[in-house]
Structures are given as structure tokens and as C-alpha cells.
Structure 1
Amino acid sequence: MNAQPVNIPSASDIADASRRIRTVTRRTPVLQVTAGELDIPVPVTLKMEFLQHTGSFKVRGASNVLALLRTTDRGVPAAGVCCASGGNHGAAVAWAAREAGLRATVFVPDFAPTAKTAIIESLGARLRRVDGFYADALVASQDHARRVGAFHVDAFDDPLTVAGQGTLGLELADQVPEGRPVLVGCGGGGLYAGTALALAGRNRVIAVEPSSAPSLTAALEEGEPVDVEVGGIAVDSLGARRAGRIATAVGLSLGMKTLSVPDEAIAAARTLLWQRLRIVAEPGGATALAAVLVHSEHFPDGATVVISGANTDLPASVG
């Protein structure tokens, strides 16, 4: 890792986040599924996080940031808040800002799906499309924050965001057996880091990445975040070109190895969720389940799988 210290949220930070946002976020349920029900190699417990407000886990982190911002001496700037997003974080910030009566501006890559941008605009946020990928939208959002004085809400590499995502892990501690591995899809790594910190010493949390966007895999191999090429069917939600410093530090401290899955397995996982359970998951939301199809030897007794998002149009190939 580079010399600059990494501010990793503590267990008490995650507990504080839980108390701060429990009245605005949903406690999402779990569903026990046998191997036969889903036609997969091992049984799984699905954490139905796609039932969260705006259809993804991102509301947890955004709500924690804005709730704390409003109670600090700094307060909320007149220009409101802004963020960069592939879609889900933007929808979460738009929702949290609307609940708090704040202005929000969301920068997205120009390929962001309509299913996600429509949610952002319906929640009253100003949408700004940017040529390129998430990293390009991030530069535009940070420039906007400096230019107009808006508060930038980071998608995955801020301790408050990670602590908010960690509240999902606290819920799992009440919902699933100790010792059973937990699989989460990973882009920048905020959900992985928060969940792993919340469940440290209780459940091993495994980050699952598309093989076409291996940002955390590369960071753990190099010992620090590095840029990688990104693409594939889950790029709108798991397409961070560089993993977060927090996720990298957490992964290194826990000796975590990522699991990679091809686009074909992600597509197959989405199809199974729809055909067998009538669950509509976006590609990023089904990526963790894809690991059960490809890497079941790592968890022969089953696993808990976070279905993290459902903001997608139902493809004809799934229907």
C-alpha cells in the first residue's frame, strides 16, 4: 500500500451508522433456497437486498453520509450534493437527498441504463451524462463539487459510505449461521469492505468480480489500487476502473482472495433467478450468485449470497 494512511471504519462506526439510518432504510429479508430449487450445486441463502429503497444496497451508504452531514457544524452547502455513479449510487443519493430536502446532481457514464437514469430523474436529481466510464463521471462530479461548492458523496471509498454499507452485514449477523461464507458482488468494493468489517471473525466475506472488471483482484495482487480495463455486462454497476483504497486495505488485512466469474455465468445466474424464483436481478446484482455456478468447490456446504440490485429492464433472453 502507498504511504498515505487509509481511514477504515471501525465496528463502532458501523453500529453508529445502523442507529443513524435504521428509520429510513429497510431491513431486507433472506430466503433459504435448496440446490434443487435453483438448479445449482449447493444450497444458498439469498439476502434480498434488491428490495431496498431504489432497488439496491447503495441507499445504506448514501443515507449515512447525508444524515451525518446534516448534523455537523459544516452543514449542507447551498449547492447541495453531487456524486458519480453507474446508476445505483446516483439513485441512492437522489433518494436520500429528496428525503432530506436537498438538491442533488448526479453524473453518470453515457451508457448508464435507462432503468437507472429514469429513477434518478424521477427522484428530482439533475442528471449529467459524461462520455466514457465511471472514472470519467467521477472526475466530472469532483470538478462540479469544486466549482460550485457542492458536497461530493463518494460511491465506495469513503469511511461513511462503507460504514453505511456495513449495516447489511449487521443484519446478516442476525439472519445467517456463523461460519457460513457470504458472497458479494464487487466493483469499487464498498459493499465488500463494509460487510467484511461487520462480519469479521464471524463469517468469511468473499468478493466476486466479473472477469471483465477485475479491479479488486488487481489491487490485492499489487498491494495497492491500480487501474484496470473494465467492460462486460455488469460494467454499469461493477465497472470501477480502480478499486477503493478502503476495500483494498480490508482485503489485504483479511488475506482475502477474490473470485472471478465470466459474463456467461452472470447471465446464467440472472436467468435462474428469474425462471426459478421470479427474481429480477441486474447483472451486478446476480454476480455473487454466479460464483456458486463456477466456484461451488469453495463452499461445499452452501453460502449466503447477496442479491444486491434489481435496476434493469427484463431482457428478452431472460423472459
Structure 2
Amino acid sequence: MSGPGIGAGFGGSVPGGVVGSGPDDAGPPRRVSRSDAREARKRLAGRIRKTPVLHTSIAGPDGPVPVTLKLEYLQHGGTFKVRGSLNALLESPVSAGEVVIASDGNAGIATAVATAQLGKACTVVVPESAPHTKVAAMWSHGAEVVWHGTTYGEACRHAADLATERGALLLRADDLPAVVAGAGVVGLELEEQVRGRPPVLISVGGGGLVAGVASVLGRRQQVIGVEPVGYPALHTALETDPAVGPCSPDAAHAHRIGAIALGIARRYDIRSLLVADDAVVAAREYLWREFRIVVEATGATALAAVHSGVYVPPPGERPVIVLCSANTEHVVQ
């Protein structure tokens, strides 16, 4: 039995019940704009948290650095991804009782939170390498977890087969217009919470958050992606253009930038900064020691750029740093 086709304004019906369209479907991905984020904010009203900001200073190599921390790790499920998952499901014109997604972490948690809100069943297909703490979080929000394969790509293929078999909706983790637009609501909130137009530093995984915020701020405000040297997805893509959709048959793992994110990064000249792994560890430990904030490594990556001196703000600048996720299995000492 085939799943319900989902057009959602993104190019018509998609075989297999895929929510929206992406680089795996015919034609280029649809552009995401500020107006899309505004529509997403309307849909999400009352369903997500407007996360607070903290104006403070952090230690840099040459002394204290004034910054504004966007505390997005306080979002439902401990991840910004809830915004995109909810927006994609609320935007879809087709009703189905079950949603299937492949994820090795926060996207699965976010989908479990979103489906619980909407009264839908959720199945997350995870590779054997998925962190057990994140799998436990999926379970805690009512998701069925199916272990399949040793790589993210194998999990993706099985999720597509499972959605078709069950007549469920197949949701993508990052490279989907509605998901990016949902993440863009973070940018709309920052415009209301922070004076002026300081640069915004954002950790890059699949690219959904950095792309969403950039689609809102455009060229009016600089958006900077920060990545660990071991997973330079955006940095590599900007140099060599290896955009692979997160559920493409060629996606061996989740650390590839999506086509939508890459297009937005080029359109608005998003910079990519690389930080050492030990700088990320040090930033995470610093957040706990100084602020009693516990985030996962991804959540501390953007902070690491300032804390380690990879990014040095000019005098008078107070950059915004987004702390994006808090689902960690490692206790900070």
C-alpha cells in the first residue's frame, strides 16, 4: 500500500507519502523566504516556546567578550528541530495517523514531540550508531523506535520503505522547505529580542537552523555557521558543492549539508568557521562551570568560536550565539 502523496505547495503529489519535496524529487528545491517563516510563526503560535536570550560576557583568549546567548536548548524536546517538525506537519494538507522519519538524534526527538502534540503515531528509524540517550528521549515522547542498518543512509532507505508499507507520512530531517521555515522563526524572535544587527553565530549540522535564520535576516544581518573540523559540512559544500539530501540513497551519514541550506548560504554569503574538537569540549565545560548550562557538543559549537578566539568580535560588537540543543549522554564534570 502506498502512503498518501503530500504536495504542501512544493511541487505536487510525491509518491510514498513524503512530506514536501527536496533534492531527491524532480526539480530544484523551492526557495525559503522571510514570508515562509512568518507563516510558520502563525502556525506554531502556542505550540513552541519563544526561547529567552541572555546578555552576558564570556571568556575569550584576550579577556571577557560581550555576547548574547539565545537559549534555544530550552525548546520542547531540548532542540530547535521541534519548530520545523511541527511546521511541516501542520502545513501538510494530507492527514495521516502515523509519521515515519529516519534520524540518529534530535530530528527523531523533535518528530516524537510534534506528533505527540498532534495526536499522531510516530516511528523513528535509527542506525545502530544512534546515541542511546537520544533513543530513550524518543521513547519518552511516545515514539516507536526501529533499529536498522549501520549507517544513516541505510536507516533512511528503510524509513521510506516502512512509510510506504504502512501508508504513513515520511518526514525529512532538514532539507525540506517547511522544516527550514520553522527554524527561521528563531530569526524572527531574535529581531524582537536583540537591538541592532549583530552577527549571529549558529552551529551547523544538516544546515536547517543556519538556513532558516539566514532566510529571515537576509543580508541585513550577518549569519555565521560554525562547525567542528571533523564534520565541515557547510565549509566543504561551499568549496566543492557536494550537497546531498539527508535521505538521498547516497547519504552515508547525517553530516551532509542539504541543497536548500547550501542555496541559502550562497545567496546570503554565509561564512563558515571551523573549530577544533577540544575547543568544543572546552566551551561546553565552560557553559556548565560558569552558567550551569548543560548542552550537547552541537549546542556548544557556536560558542566555541568566540571562546577559543576563532571569531574575535570588533570593539563594540556583541554577537548573538545560538545554543541549539541539550540532548546529551555525557555528564559535564
Q: 1:287 to 1:274 in 2, by over 3 A?
A: same
Q: 1:225 to 1:298 in 2, by over 3 A?
A: farther
Provide the secondary structure at the position in 1 that maps to 2:115: helix
Deviation at 1:108, TM superposition (A): 1.8
Give the aligned partner of residue 265 of structure 1. Answer: 279
TM-score between the two structures when normalised by the length of structure 1: 0.88
* Residues 248-301 of structure 1 deviation map (CA, whole Å, 9 limit, x = unaligned): 001111122211112111100100000000000100111111111241235553
C-alpha RMSD of matched pairs (Å) = 2.2
Write the mapping of 1:43-122 to structure 2, written as runs, cut at 5 A. 43-69=66-92, 72=93, 74-76=94-96, 78=97, 80-122=98-140
Matched residue type, 2:324: S
1:306 partnered with 2:322: yes
Q: Distance in 1 between matches of 2:165 and 2:312?
A: 51
Contact 2:219 2:268 in 1 (8 A): no
Higher helix share: 1
Select between 4-13 and 273-282 the one with higher mean Cα deviation. 4-13
Give the aligned partner of residue 8 of structure 1. Answer: 31
Q: Distance in 1 between matches of 2:311 and 2:278?
A: 16
Unaligned runs of 5+ in 2: 1-22, 246-252
1:246 partnered with 2:264: no
Give the aligned partner of residue 23 of structure 1. Answer: 46
Unaligned runs of 5+ in 1: 228-238
Provide the secondary structure at the position in 1 that maps to 2:312: helix
Contact 1:219 1:226 in 2 (8 A): no
Q: Distance in 1 between matches of 2:304 and 2:314?
A: 13
Contact 1:223 1:252 in 2 (8 A): no
Deviation at 1:172, TM superposition (A): 0.5
Give the aligned partner of residue 201 of structure 1. Answer: 219
Matched residue type, 2:322: V
Contact 1:42 1:296 in 2 (8 A): no
Q: Distance in 1 between matches of 2:258 and 2:190?
A: 23
Provide the secondary structure at the position in 2 that maps to 1:82: strand
Q: 1:19 to 1:13 in 2, by over 3 A?
A: same
Q: Distance in 2 between matches of 1:25 and 1:40?
A: 36
TM-score between the two structures when normalised by the length of structure 2: 0.84
Give the aligned partner of residue 279 of structure 1. Answer: 293
Contact 2:52 2:71 in 1 (8 A): yes
Give the aligned partner of residue 235 of structure 1. Answer: none
Give the total of aligned pairs.
300
Contact 1:181 1:299 in 2 (8 A): no
Give the aligned partner of residue 297 of structure 1. Answer: 312
Give the aligned partner of residue 189 of structure 1. Answer: 207
Provide the secondary structure at the position in 1 that maps to 2:219: coil
